[in-house]
């Protein structure tokens, strides 16, 4: 973000125009955990809509035919049947805390879907979407309030250790379950999905389902 402000439409358009880009992996987003989502809802929906709209449109204008958009598992209904399948998208109400972020990510999926629909044949557009589960790994955000679960826990226990604290307070009951995925495993999955031939990829899709879940299939309680 220090090199290119993706919220600046003109800057993004000019960047794509002067680069010879073959493929785009759209991982950029304004992200955070429960506290951040609840504190900055306007920023979460606005910034993410702007970022993905600028990048997808600029990629199309510059003639980039292949793009991979990364969403989030919070796009699914709060009471979605478990395990969450791709076809449960838009079948129920979203979790209120994550709703602004989720709506932006759903819009990104639908942008890719409809760019394919309108420009797939005429311009050879092949824009795909994957939905990662909760990620963790080096370079994560360790903010005490705005981070995700794993870096947040690491921060709490690290702080407790160096300060010789006797206890650590964790939010909630500890009973909610989460599925976690190491960031390098997601990177491998992203490259794999992009390299699947178009006929094979399209054979797994439908007009209503244009994304693929990526996860570990292992659930852990926060506790």
Q: Tell me whether residue 71 is exposed, middle or buried, using C-beta atoms within 10 angstroms of its C-beta: 0 to 12, 13 to 18, 19 or more.
A: buried
Nearest CA to 72 among 137, 131, 141, 26?
131
In angstroms, the CA 47 to CA 53 distance is 10
Whether 25 is catalytic is: no
Q: What's the chain's Rg over C-alpha atoms?
A: 19
In angstroms, the CA 176 to CA 181 distance is 17
Q: Which of 101, 136, 142, 201 is catalytic?
A: 101
Helix (H) or strand (E) holding 70: strand 66-70
The residue whose two tokens read 């909760």 is: 134
Contact partners, residue 104, CB within 8 Å, separation at least 6 = 44, 45, 48, 49, 52
In angstroms, the CA 160 to CA 199 distance is 53
Catalytic residues, which ones?
101
């Amino acid at each position: 973000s220090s090199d290119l402000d993706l919220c600046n439409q003109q800057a993004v358009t000019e960047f794509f125009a002067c680069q010879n880009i073959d493929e785009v992996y759209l991982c950029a987003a304004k992200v955070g955990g429960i506290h951040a989502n609840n504190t900055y809802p306007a920023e979460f929906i606005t910034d993410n809509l702007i970022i993905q709209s600028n990048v997808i449109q600029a990629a199309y204008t510059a003639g980039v035919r292949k793009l991979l958009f990364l969403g989030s598992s919070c796009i699914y209904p709060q009471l979605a049947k478990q395990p969450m399948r791709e076809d449960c998208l838009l079948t129920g109400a979203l979790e209120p805390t994550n709703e602004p972020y989720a709506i932006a990510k759903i819009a990104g999926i639908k942008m890719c879907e409809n760019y394919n629909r309108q420009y797939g044949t005429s311009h050879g557009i092949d824009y795909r979407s994957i939905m990662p589960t909760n990620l963790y790994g080096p370079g994560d955000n360790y903010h005490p309030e705005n981070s995700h679960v794993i870096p947040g826990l690491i921060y709490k226990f690290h702080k407790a250790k160096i300060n010789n604290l006797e206890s650590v307070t964790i939010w909630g009951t500890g009973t909610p379950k989460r599925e976690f995925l190491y960031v390098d495993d997601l990177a491998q999955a992203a490259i794999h999905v992009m390299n699947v031939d178009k006929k094979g990829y399209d054979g797994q899709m439908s007009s209503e389902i244009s994304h693929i879940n990526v996860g570990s299939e292992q659930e852990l309680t926060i506790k």
